[in-house]
Structure 1
Amino acid sequence: MTELKALKKQLRQEALSRRDALDPLWRIEASLAMARAAGELAVEPGTIVSGFWPMRSEVDVRPLMFALRESGARLCLPAILDRTTMVFRELVRGAPLVEMGFGTAGPGEEAQVLDPSVMLVPLAAFDARGHRIGYGAGYYDRAIERLREKGTEPRLVAIAFDCQEVSEVPDEPHDVRLGEILTESGLRRFPAG
């Protein structure tokens, strides 16, 4: 393992340990508070927004997704097709959800595949420059790259708790920078560059 990968792994483990240590009831309250920020995101009706089904101690983004749906957004969730490919399937009210692995659920194969223009992105750690450390498999980096190859530049809004911020994420050329992050402290925009 390279020194850079080892450092990322260490930062990931430390940030996730801090997140895991948060009181579960506090996490629920913080997740509900983040949902109230839906208006700050200024998502136009009809906009396709990808969310995610929370796993372990992640922010429960479902209240935020519900608020965005109420304002007219079309929602989708990630579906991992194989070891390298993730697509986004439409989340329709009342449609059954299936086990997606990693303790998550999502729309089944019959759901329409959509290309989101706004992506709510989970992460393990982030820094003040907009760099993130994911969970290590690279699914989001590859999915964002595929959207860009199609000519789409999705708006990337990370979702995390403040305790997941680190002083600096070591970045590599393939890493995708975030534009914004929503935490319990509110919506922050990262400087371009």
Structure 2
Amino acid sequence: MTPRERKKAIRAERLALRDAMGAEARANASAAMLAQGGEAIAFPPGQVVAGFWPIRSEADIRPLMARLGARGARLCLPVVLDRETIVFREFAEGAPVVSTGFGTTGPGPEAAVLDPDLLLVPLSAFDAAGNRIGYGAGHYDRAIDRLRGMGRRPRLIGIAFDCQEVASVPAEPHDVALDAVLTESGLRVFKRA
């Protein structure tokens, strides 16, 4: 089995486990992420933090984003422009949001485009080394690559439930590892060589 095939199988397995969580369990785990990460995620005031509006069975990190905003973060959300590109538009608490493609929600075209310093990254699976499996479209990989091409090195914090952890992710050369992951059990920072 190729790494790509293994990733596809792991993605399907872990997303099925996430989908199987009941609504109450998912809400409780999302609330625990606020409790675990609301103060633990470090950043200087004014830093641009990209979150996301939940789709399907993802964790609802909107309360976490509100807390980070109250601590001084400048918030933005990803917007899918086409099958290849996402940008990050500024988001203020209470601002209107619109459908932004591929089932996502975010600020409309009137919002400023920002380059994030820290990305809260949704994912399908992760391992103890900080390797992640996304949803398969490569949007975040390309966005991170674009930011790095501009000389930026955004910190990457994966957002997942505990059930999405696997023993090992078949990492490929183009994959970018996470700096940390936030689950309902807490914020885990990965050591880099």
The match for 2:43 is 43
Q: Give the unaligned 5+ runs of structure 2.
A: none
Q: Does 1:83 align with 2:57?
A: no
Structure 1: how far apart are the matches of 2:29 and 2:165?
A: 16
| 1:97–1:107 CA contact under 8 A, matched in 2 | yes
Task: Write the deviation string for residues 39-87 of structure 1: whole angstroms up to 9, x where unpaired.
Answer: 1112221110000111111111111001101111110000111121111
Q: Does 1:28 align with 2:27?
A: yes
Structure 2: how far apart are the matches of 1:93 and 1:106?
A: 12
Structure 1: how far apart are the matches of 2:93 and 2:169?
A: 38
The match for 2:124 is 124
Equivalent pairs, count = 192
| 1:43–1:68 CA contact under 8 A, matched in 2 | no
RMSD of aligned residue pairs (Cα, Å): 1.1
TM-score by length of 1: 0.96
> How much does 1:17 deviate?
0.7
| 1:51–1:77 CA contact under 8 A, matched in 2 | yes
Alignment of 1:42-61 (within 5 A): 42-61=42-61
Q: Give the unaligned 5+ runs of structure 1.
A: none
> How much does 1:26 deviate?
1.3
| 2:32–2:185 CA contact under 8 A, matched in 1 | no
The match for 1:187 is 187
| 2:121–2:156 CA contact under 8 A, matched in 1 | yes
Task: Write the deviation string for residues 125-172 of structure 1: whole angstroms up to 9, x where unpaired.
Answer: 001111000000000011001111111110111000010011111011
> How much does 1:4 deviate?
1.7
Q: Does 1:147 align with 2:138?
A: no
Structure 2: how far apart are the matches of 1:56 and 1:79?
A: 16
Q: Does 1:109 align with 2:109?
A: yes
* Deviant stretches of 4+, over 3 Å: none
The match for 1:134 is 134
The percentage of aligned residue pairs carrying the same residue is 59
> How much does 1:105 deviate?
0.9
Report the more deviating stretch, 108-117 or 93-102: 93-102
TM-score by length of 2: 0.96
> How much does 1:102 deviate?
3.1
Change (3 A) 1:41 1:155: same
Task: Write the deviation string for residues 68-127 of structure 1: whole angstroms up to 9, x where unpaired.
Answer: 011111100001111211110000233321101233210011110000001000000001
Amino acid of the residue matched to residue 22 of structure 1?
M
Q: Counterpart of 1:79 in 2: which secondary structure?
A: strand
Amino acid of the residue matched to residue 100 of structure 1?
T
Alignment of 1:149-168 (within 5 A): 149-168=149-168
